[in-house]
């Protein structure tokens, strides 16, 4: 069990982190959620639960933690750029290419935010996290057919937005 868990960590820690970071846009939060997902998985194993598909299980736990984080964020007051500047947190000078790439990513994230959460989530899981529809179905507790249809509709809506 220990060896299997360590192999799952080695294989899925980076993809889970990237998924969390894309959804949260905060490195520290993404790292914390990734670690918490593995901690909860470890506890499940220690409690005697059998995990047949570590990848699907970890993404499911991470998604639930991300949803919890969104709920917490909704209850927090927003921080303005002025407050950040007063605290000495000025934007750093980045090279032009990095800024352009960041701008393109921000544009894509804004387009994704315009989609319904069901569509946004399947697109991220499929094309960012590189999961197959069968794996996405396990994560979201849906049938593979529902996920395939949802992916098709999500891509259609995204093309309309672009």
Domain boundary among 44, 76, 108: 76
Axis crossing angle, helix 144-161 with helix 133-140, rounded to the nearest 10: 100
Q: Which domain holds residue 56?
A: 1-76
3-state secondary structure of 2: helix
CA 128 from chain centre, in angstroms, equals: 9
What pLDDT shows up at residue 76?
A: 54
Q: How far apart are CA 53 and CA 65, in angstroms?
A: 19
Q: Are residues 56 and 113 in the same domain?
A: no
Q: In whole angstroms, how far apart are CA 9 and each of 12, 73, 156?
A: 5, 28, 35
pLDDT band at 37 (very low <50, low <70, confident <90, very high): very high
Q: How far apart are CA 13 and CA 35, in angstroms?
A: 8
Higher per-residue pLDDT: 121 or 87: 121
| Residue 82: inside a domain | no
Residue labelled with tokens 């002025």: 82
Q: How far apart are CA 134 and CA 112, in angstroms?
A: 22
Q: Are residues 127 and 160 in the same domain?
A: yes
Q: Are residues 107 and 44 in the same domain?
A: no
- R_g over Cα of the chain: 18
User: In this structure, are residues 34 and 13 in contact, taking their beta carbons and an 8 Å threshold?
Assistant: yes
pLDDT band at 162 (very low <50, low <70, confident <90, very high): confident
Could you tell me which of 134, 34, 125, 18 has the C-alpha nearest to residue 42? 34
Task: Please report, rounded to a whole number, the percentage of residues in the chain having pLDDT higher than 90.
Answer: 30
pLDDT tens digit sequence for 45-100 = 899 888 888 888 999 999 899 888 888 876 655 555 555 555 555 554 455 555 55
What pLDDT shows up at residue 93?
A: 47
Q: What is the CATH number of the domain that holds 66?
A: 1.10.1740
Q: Does position 27 have pLDDT exceeding 60, yes or no?
A: yes
Q: What is the CATH number of the domain that holds 122?
A: 1.10.10.10
What pLDDT shows up at residue 84?
A: 52
Q: Does position 111 have pLDDT exceeding 90, yes or no?
A: no
Domain boundary among 41, 76, 111: 76
What pLDDT shows up at residue 50?
A: 86
């Amino acid at each position: 069990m220990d060896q299997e868990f360590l192999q799952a960590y080695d294989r899925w820690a980076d993809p889970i982190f990237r998924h969390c970071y894309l959804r949260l846009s905060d490195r520290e939060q993404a790292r914390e959620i990734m670690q918490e997902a593995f901690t909860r998985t470890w506890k499940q194993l220690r409690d005697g639960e059998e995990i047949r598909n570590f990848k699907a299980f970890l993404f499911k736990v991470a998604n639930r933690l991300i949803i919890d984080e969104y709920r917490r964020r909704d209850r927090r007051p927003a921080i303005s750029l002025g407050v950040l500047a007063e605290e000495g947190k000025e934007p750093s000078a980045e090279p032009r290419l990095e800024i352009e790439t960041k701008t393109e990513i921000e544009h894509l994230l804004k387009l994704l935010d315009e989609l319904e959460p069901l569509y946004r989530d399947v697109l991220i899981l499929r094309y960012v996290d590189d999961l197959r529809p069968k794996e996405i179905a396990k994560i979201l507790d849906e049938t593979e057919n529902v996920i395939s249809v949802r992916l098709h509709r999500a891509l259609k809506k995204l093309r309309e937005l672009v």
